[in-house]
Amino acid sequence: MFQHVPNALTALRLLLAGVFFGMLSFYQHQIAGPHGDVLWLNIAFFVYLIALITDFLDGFLARRWKVEGAFGRVVDPFVDKVLVLGSFIFFAGKNFIIPQSDPAQIPTNVQTITGVVPWMVVVILARELLVTSLRGSSEASGEKFTTQFAGKFKMAAQSVTILVILLYVNYREELGPDWQHAATFFRDFCIWGTLVITIGSGLLYIQRAVSLYRKNARATAQGKNTEKMVEPLRR
């Protein structure tokens, strides 16, 4: 019975992701009427928070009840990536675009109230695709490629940044000019810190994958040498 609870929580988190993206899809910044109501982002904030709690619970219960399996190793990171990548894609999208404050800027540049722009999403996406490829290759060769601490720290940093952005968009206008400047600085600090952590964790996964590759290469070479030594004895 217990073995299905962590997997059920993972599935629930995927459902919550759908609800979360529904809130972000309906919200339209700087549009009067129901689409610009901060209620949608408030709901999105709490939905994401619940999803984070289920993310902690499914891993904790799986370890506590010793029911960790291949499903959790594959699907749990997948759901995390859906939540994070989907969030940043929406944050860089049309729902959060604002007019450029500096007329001298190039008109094609994108400026968003979230502080997230498309190239940042590309960096995060590239890291996730790379790690997914490395995990798939390792799992196919029989090596477990479980999430490292760096990966969990990266997920925590990204999630905190997403929550900070939601709060910033919702309540920035209620702050005074000085507090607005401080809030914008903190938002940007979280975004750039997340990018650094995301890239750094990706480099650590590459290092680990190279280490596993060398280990397998040495094992294969030793196996061939042993076979060459045994072959004359067979004759």
At 220, which CATH number?
1.20.120.1760
Give the structural domain span for 75: 2-99+111-234
The count of structural domains within the chain is 1
Backbone φ and ψ for 167, nearest 5 degrees, come out as -65, -40
Residue 209 has pLDDT above 90, yes or no: no
Query: What is the model's pLDDT at position 186?
Result: 97
Residue 142 has pLDDT above 90, yes or no: no
For the segment 19-41, the average pLDDT, to the nearest whole number, is: 85
Of 95 and 223, the one with more pLDDT:
95
For a pLDDT cut of 90, what percent of the chain falls above it? 43
Residue 147 has pLDDT above 90, yes or no: no
- Which pTM value belongs to this model? 0.84
| CB count in 10 Å sphere of residue 217 | 10
Query: What is the model's pLDDT at position 102?
Result: 59
CA 18 to the chain's CA centroid: 15
What is the C-alpha separation between 57 and 4, in angstroms, rounded? 13
Cα torsion angle, 50, 51, 52, 54, sign: positive
In a domain, 50, yes or no: yes
In a domain, 128, yes or no: yes
In a domain, 106, yes or no: no
